[in-house]
Amino acid sequence: MYHWTDYYDLTQQGLAGDSAFYEEYAKAANGEVLELGCGTGRVTIPLAKAGIHMTGLEISQEMLAKAVTKAEEAGGIEHLSFIQGDMRQFSLGKKFGLIMIPYRSFLHLLHIQEQLKALRCIREHLQPDGKLVFNVFVPHIKHLYEESEKLTLRGMYPLQDGQEVAMYDFTRYDYFQQLAEVTRSYERLDKNGKMQERVTGRFTLRYVFPAELHHLLRLAGFKVLERYGSFAKAPFDATSTEFIIVASPA
Ligand X SMILES: C[S@@+](CC[C@H](N)C(=O)[O-])C[C@H]1O[C@@H](n2cnc3c(N)ncnc32)[C@H](O)[C@@H]1O
**Strand locations in 111-194, DSSP E?**
126-137, 149-158, 164-174, 179-189
Q: Does 88 bind ligand X (CB under 6 A)?
A: yes
Q: Does 37 bind ligand X (CB under 6 A)?
A: yes
Tell which residue, 241, 249, 248, 237, has the closest CA to residue 25.
248
Q: Does 242 bind ligand X (CB under 6 A)?
A: no
Q: Does 186 bind ligand X (CB under 6 A)?
A: no
The answer to whether the CB of 213 falls within 8 A of the CB of 226 is no
Beta-carbon-side half-sphere exposure of residue 88 (alpha carbons within 13 Å): 11
User: CA 150, CA 171: separation in Å to the nearest integer?
Assistant: 5
Q: Does 38 bind ligand X (CB under 6 A)?
A: yes
Q: Does 229 bind ligand X (CB under 6 A)?
A: no
Q: Between 93 and 128, whose beta carbon lies closer to ligand X? A: 93
Which of 63, 121, 180, 213 binds ligand X (CB under 6 A)? It is 63
Q: Does 119 bind ligand X (CB under 6 A)?
A: no
Q: Between 148 and 152, whose beta carbon lies closer to ligand X? A: 152
In the complex, what is the shortest distance from the CB of residue 228 to ligand X, in angstroms, rounded to a whole number? 17
Q: Does 59 bind ligand X (CB under 6 A)?
A: yes
Q: What is the spatial order of strands in the sheet that 33-36 belongs to?
A: 80-84, 54-58, 33-36, 96-101, 126-137, 242-249, 222-228
Number of residues that bind ligand X (CB under 6 A): 20
Q: Does 187 bind ligand X (CB under 6 A)?
A: no
Q: Does 167 bind ligand X (CB under 6 A)?
A: no
Tell which residue, 106, 9, 123, has the closest CA to residue 66.
9
Binding site residues, ligand X, CB under 6 A:
14, 36-39, 42-43, 57-60, 63, 86-88, 102-105, 108
